[in-house]
Structure 1
Amino acid sequence: MRGMDMELAYRMLDQVAAVPAGQVATYGDIAARAGSPSPRLAGRVLSELSDETTPWHRIVRADGTPTAHLRDEQLARLRSEGVLANNGRVDLRRYRYQPGRAER
């Protein structure tokens, strides 16, 4: 990842890994928790550095929509964890992961 702060990138991946099954976070959530102002960078990190163990499907856009080119797979994976979408959008008030908040 040319020109990228790899320490920051790995902090982002750690934040993605911390999102529990049955919940989601936004790209902005991941960026902020890792110390970056850039949700786009969080998307780039997931695109370029994630592997089969990374729960990438738990990260959605700020409006609750999935990644466009992975929409069907992402929604199917979320559904298998109990996260339901309405018209292709996850209800962030219901499913958004808030570190430190009691788990449901």
Structure 2
Amino acid sequence: MDEYYVERVLSLVESIAPGRVLTYGRVAEHLAGGYGPRYVGRIMSTHGHAVCWWRVIRADGTMPPTLMIEAQKHWHAEGTPVRNGRVHLPDALWDPS
């Protein structure tokens, strides 16, 4: 695993504002390191426990089923826009620039 890229992903995730989210794909696009959303997901699954992991979501506004209930608690606490159990991306997407 590219440790420099791992650090970049985790640093970006730490900077996401409360109540906002990025998709795995948007993280990959923003970092432009030649890696895609699956690699970002792999990084989050192995190293993301130390950061606000609930702020990085799937493109459909959900999380993996094993994380969904815990993520919803965090979204509620932070006031993340949610509709029908999913993050409402038009209102919640964060702009890292």
Match of 2:40 among 39, 42, 48: 42
The equivalent residue for 2:11 is: 14
Listed as ranges, the gaps of 5+ residues in structure 1 are none
Does the CA-based 8 Å contact 1:15-1:33 persist in structure 2?
no
The equivalent residue for 1:24 is: 21
Does the CA-based 8 Å contact 1:67-1:74 persist in structure 2?
no
Report % sequence identity. Answer: 34
Measured in 2, the distance between the counterparts of 1:97 and 1:85 equals 14
Runs of 4+ in 1 over 3 A off after TM superposition: none
Which structure has the highest helix share of the two? 2
Shift of 1:72: 0.4
RCO higher in structure (CA 8 A, sep ≥6): 2
CA RMSD of aligned residues (A): 1.3
Say if 2:7 is the partner of 1:33. Answer: no
TM-score normalised to the size of structure 1? Answer: 0.84
What count of residue pairs does the alignment treat as equivalent? 96
| Larger gyration radius, structure 1 or structure 2 | 1
Q: Which amino acid aligns with 2:95?
A: Q
